[in-house]
Each structure stands twice: as structure tokens, then as C-alpha cells.
Structure 1
Amino acid sequence: MSATSAALTPQACRNCHTVLPERAVYCPTCGQDVAEHPPTLWEFVHEFANHYVALEGKLWKSLVWLLCRPGFLTREYLAGRRQRYVLPLRLLLTLGFVFFVTLKWVDSSGPAVSVQVGAAEATPAQAQAAAFEAFGDIGQVQVGWFESAFEAVTERWVKNPQAEAERLHARLLGMAPWAVLASLPVFAGILALVYRRRRISYGAHFVFAMHLHAAWYGMLWLSLLPVSALAWFLLLWANLYPVLAMRAVYGGRWGVTLLRASCVAAAHYLVLVPAAVLVFALSAGLLA
């Protein structure tokens, strides 16, 4: 800290009133910053990054182990070696944040894509509007509030499909990170059922779930790079990764591990399908 900052250091902490040593930066009792200057925007950004996003040097080492050695970080964490790497939750939030920010940037800067609807060419918004119009016939057999909601949403899409497409896309991107976080306890519960005879704590399964989803975020982010060969490799690696990670963390024979991984994947998809429908319905305004 500079001499000017030291001169501004108060005699006692404003939070707990502990007498501060000379040139103190933080209170030795409560840990509060003792500087008297008004907080700057950079300090807020730095505080947010320190609490929610991993930016320190060990992030890069953690990323290499996470993406290239399935299950390694989970085994290290459960063995008590935690200060060497980024903690699971911060790693998950960091990669999720980077992925969704990059996805939004790529989506907003990328060229418009057209699709075929019958013999005519249409934008994605027009194609989605046509889909809603087609589903409107199905909506006629529904009853009560859902029929009214469906008709209202269909009417909005017919009036302004482009605006509704942009609104739906923005809401889906906004809800996706929360949906992933909400799915983690369910995924850990599925692991606990599959390995119920091992008497492993639920917390250990949750750590595995966080590391696995963090790795998937990293792979999804790398797949945004305009390299088709890399995308195909990542697709293969994303499917092999859970099996290798389960074998590394839980042990067991390869055949049994593959069977358990298949059961986890099947149960996970059974949960994801209705969850995806729910997220889409909420985003489209059907359940608003």
C-alpha cells in the first residue's frame, strides 16, 4: 500500500472497532478493507471476480486437468488436496459464465441463417411462427388456461415473428444457466442411486457432478471455435468423458462402469426432456 493510503488508514476498524496495526490493509479481526476512499468500479469488478469467477493462475492448471484427465480433479478434491486447484463450484461458474457470454456474442455477431419451409425459404423466426401456427390446431383440443395461453402466444408469433423469436431466444439463454444449476442435485441423486451400495456421501457425488458439468461447459465453449474437426472430436470426447471419469473416481470393472454410465445417461435424459419442455414453455410465455 502507498504512503498516501497508509496515511488515510483509520486508527480503528469501522466495522468491529479493533485497533489497527500500522499500514494495515485489512482488519486482523473481521477482515474488512480499512481503506477510506470511495469504492471504484474496478474494485466492484475485482470483488465479483474473486467471489464468483476464478481468474488466478491455478485456473489454467485446473482447466488442463479437468479437460484432459477425467475424474482427476474430483479425486484430488475428495483426497483433501484442494488448494492446488480451483474449487468445483467456482470452476463450474467460471466456465458457464465464459460459455454463455461467448455464445451470446457469437449469436449476435453471426450471420442470419435461413431454413426451408416447404418450397419457400424463410428465416428461423418465420419457421418457428409456422410451427406455432401448426401446433395451434393441437391447442384447440386443450382446455382451460393452457388453451388461452397457447392462443395468446400463437397470436403474438403471427403478428411479429421476428420479435418473438428474439424474445424467446433471449429468455432461453437467460434461463439455461439456472436450469443447469438446478439439474445438478438431480444428477448427483442419480449417481447416488447407481452407486448406492458403495455408501458414498451425497456431497462426493455432487462434487463429481460439478466437475463433469464444468468439463462439458469447457467442451461446449471450445466447440464454438470455427474448426469442424475440433467440434467432431469434442462430440466424441463429451460422450467418452463421463465413462472415464466414473471409472477414475468410483473404480470398478470397465463393463460395470459402462453399464452404470448408460443408466445414469438414460435417467438424466428422462429428467432433461420434461425439464427442457418446461423451460421452453416458460420462455415462450405458455406458463406465464
Structure 2
Amino acid sequence: MLSPAPMLASPLPLLLLLLCRTCLCQYSSDQCSWKGSGLTHEGHTRDVEQVYLRCSQGSLDWLYPTGAIIVNLRPNTVSPAAARLSVCIKPSAESSGTNVYLDRNGKLRLLLREQDQAQGKVQCFSIKEGALFIEAVPHTDISRRITSFQYELVSDRLGAGAQSLSAPCQPCSDAEMLLAVCTNDFVARGNIKKVEQEEDHSSVTVEISRLYRQKTQVFVSGGVRVRSWTGRIKMPLHCGVRSGGGDFLFTGTVRFGEAWMGCAPRYKDFLRLYHEAQQQGNNPCQLDTD
């Protein structure tokens, strides 16, 4: 998770928040993706525009930013489970022109500075931490400025922890393991071929002998005559994963087109657990283990 940051006392964001609380804001949207222009703020740059995005994933593009906008990210269904969701955002490499804060009841916490957005690093936070307050940074020339990012709503355990690269490397419980097979974005049996240490995560190259499910094509087929798939799965750097070691059951989530490791028991251990749960009638779903 993100490390705590001090509350900001900058007068401009607070002034903009107060103005938004007392004025009719320019525009509101209720959709998956939003694209707007700061040129609509010209002449009334103190107005704060409210944007409502109510999908599990989407994007935002704010051209020529001036003033500020508040982005409310919410699921499209009302459920007690919604309070346990996290939001992950990934700025584009060209994103600039604003600072991004978290706004919770008028208190601001800095999430992304303008100069940090071009790194494209994923940032996650609990949905309970508030809305995004995106404030334009004054520039003489705004013609080349655009704030652009993708967002996804994810579960706390497999979303925010993995993307912030600080998830604990602890084994899943039996219940979590069985549920992961039913709910995760990918489920596959295979082995680890290579592990590469990158700047802030490990990239694990895997060879898949049995592909049960994948949300998007993170594993690529070796061809019609070759019943195997290959792909890469990311995981936190400090987990110390190594190549070899026999067959595993890989499960996890796909975030912004990248596979992130969730539960990954040895296949023989999963098989024992699965058959025991099957005999007791406790399996949340069925998996063809033949």
C-alpha cells in the first residue's frame, strides 16, 4: 500500500474545494471513460468539475487542464462488498499538467506529482480513502499538456497489494486457494522456466501445460500441434521466487494487461486439497483435474 503522506496545507486546492462545495459545477458524467478539455474552464478556472465513473475499469483524458476536477470512482452496483474494493490507476507515459490528490471529506493527500506521472507506475488506494482531486499545475503554455490514466477497481487482497508491490509473500489459506480457482482472472498448471529481477518486481516466465481459464491473452499458445502455452507473471520483488521446482497451479489477476501472481500452490498440494474438499462437498466450483 502507499506509505502515509502528510495532509497538505496548500491554499489553492483547499480554495478550489470550497468553491466546488458552493457552486454549480460545470459538468458531470456517469460512464466508464471520460474525456474533457480544460478550455471549457477558460474564464472561470475556479469552478471544479465533478466526474462520475461507475465501471470496473475505464480511462480518463483531460486535455489542456486548467482549474481542477474531482473524479468519483464507484462500482455500478450497490453492495456491502464495494467498501472492500481498491482503486488502481496507471498514468500514461505522456501524462502531465496536473497533480493528483486523494480527497476525503475535504482533506487532501498527495498521490501523484506531475513529474512522477510519466513513469507510468501503478498506484492503488482503498475506495474508502475518497475521490481523486486532480488540480492543474499553472503553465504558460498548456497546449501540450494532457492528464491521462487508466483505472481499475480490484479486490483488496489481489489488487492493491500486488500492484503496490508490497503484498506479503505468504501462502494462501485452503479456503483462499479453492476460491481463487473459481474467481481469479487466470488459472493454469505449469512450471517456472525463468525468473528475471526488474526494478521493482520479479518477472516470472512460465510454461503452461494445462490452461483452465484466462481473462485476456496473457498466455500464448505454442501452436496447433503443441499443447502448451507460455507467458509472464509478475510478483513482488521480495518474494524470492526461483525457477524449477516442479508443477504449480498458477492463479492471479490481470491488471492493465499484465498478469500478477495470486495463490500458486504446488499442483500436487492443490490436488490433495481439492479432492478432500470434493469429498466433503466444500468445493465452491468444479475443476477438471483428469
Q: What's the TM-score once normalised by structure 2's chain length?
A: 0.28
More helix by share: 1
Report 1 or 2 for greater relative contact order, CA contacts < 8 Å, sequence distance ≥ 6.
1
* TM-score, with length taken from structure 1: 0.28
Mark the structure with the bigger radius of gyration.
1
